[in-house]
Structure 1
Amino acid sequence: MKIKDLVPWTRSENPRQPVSNAEQEEAHHSLKRDINALVDKFVEKIGNLDLPWQDNEAKSDVVQAGDAVEISIELPGMDLADIDLSISGDMLVVKGEKKVERQEEKQGYFLSERAYGQIYRAIPLPPGLDTDDAKADLKNGVLTVSIPQSAEARSSMKKISVNKA
């Protein structure tokens, strides 16, 4: 059965037997498969659109760097004035808003471009950090926050030996 057989105005003069539920269900599944294949081909042709703030969430990395935790957050095109950084309880909260407007007028054309975007990211922090000594730098669109471990946390670390089984 083909999809066109389900549409009344595409049927021939000699009406067919009524379409069974199983045939309708197969046509429905066939249509879903065709649409999925079309979308897959489209994505394959254009590639995966890697937008910097999909779902208003900036990409980030959290790593242990010596006696500190470093959090790197991608904020392309943002200035210091656009960023609000705070620590609330055990969460590092990053908010920002990017507003770019560009207008250009030359002989024969007028160009006006605008780009807006908001980000919000709350990153859970591990226990034992000295948040009073946190430092942050913005360089080349990457915000890097460094938070040292507290003296208590460093002294309470215990090394565990691993035996070969």
Structure 2
Amino acid sequence: MNDQVPATTSKANPISPILDHPVDWLRTEIDRLFEDFGRPAASLFGVGNRSSIAPVPAVELVDEDKAYRLTAELPGLSDDDIDISVADGLLTIAGEKKEETERKDKGYVFSERRYGSFRRQVSLPSDVDPNGITAAFKDGVLTVTLTKDENAPARSRKIEIGQA
């Protein structure tokens, strides 16, 4: 009998105790606001991962016959918002989204601003010709073509094992 704990009842809502008192709900919301301060907002690319350090676009790298094709979805951006550079075997895609909206209706003014920047670095395969990289941007999709250097050494080779 000593290992049984008596059951107790509570007037508090077990599912959502913060709804019992409006002041508690307000305090919870204010606490959440301060906890989120400094963290990036939900990704401007549609992925709401609050644990990420900064929003980054997803990229896809495809090996084609004479080149690699890298694509990145960047909705809401224009080609003027995007910077692409290459250095030390890294391709860097960076950009910034700025959006401002203002509406006036029957004496009310609604103004909303959203800002966000990103930086994504991709290691280039060793056979990419840095001078043969081109980029195009259409309908929110960035396509970077990475031409292969035909004179680059083979990327892999078999190593024979000898006697020690």
Specify the SS of the correspondent of 2:128: coil
1:11-51 CA distances to partner (integer Å, 9 max, x unpaired)? xxxxxxxxxxxxxxxxxxxxxxxxxxxxxxxxxxxxxx733
Identity rate, percent: 30
Q: Distance in 2 between matches of 1:102 and 1:117?
A: 15
- The residue correspondences of 1:18-97 to structure 2 (distance < 5 A) are 50-51=47-48, 55-97=54-96
User: 1:34-72: per-residue Cα shift (whole Å, max 9, x none)?
Assistant: xxxxxxxxxxxxxxx733995322111111122101111
**Equivalence map 1:64-143=2 (5 Å):** 64-143=63-142
Q: Which runs of 5+ in 2 are unaligned?
A: 10-45, 159-164
- Quote the Cα distance in structure 2 between the aligned partners of 1:103 and 1:87: 38
Structure 1 stretches of 4+ with a deviation exceeding 3 A read 1-5, 51-54, 155-158
Distance in structure 2 (CA, Å) of the matches to 1:80 and 1:4:
63
Matched residue of 1:57: which SS? Answer: coil
1:2 to 1:100, Cα distance in 2 relative to 1, 3 A? farther
CA distance in 2, matches of 1:51, 1:119: 15
Check if 1:148 corresponds to 2:147.
yes
Relative to structure 1, the CA distance from residue 111 to residue 147 in structure 2 (aligned partners, 3 Å threshold; closer, same or farther) is same
RMSD: 3.1
Paired residue type of 2:118: I
Aligned residue pair count: 116
Task: State the 1:139 CA deviation.
Answer: 1.1
8 Å contact 1:52–1:58 — kept in the other structure? no
Cα distance 1:2–1:150, how it changes in 2: closer, same or farther (>3 A)?
farther
In 1, the alpha carbon distance for the partners of 2:6 and 2:85 equals 59
Q: Aligned partners of 2:7, 2:118: CA distance in 1, in Å?
A: 44
Relative to the length of structure 1, the TM-score reads 0.60
- 1:95 alignment partner AA: A
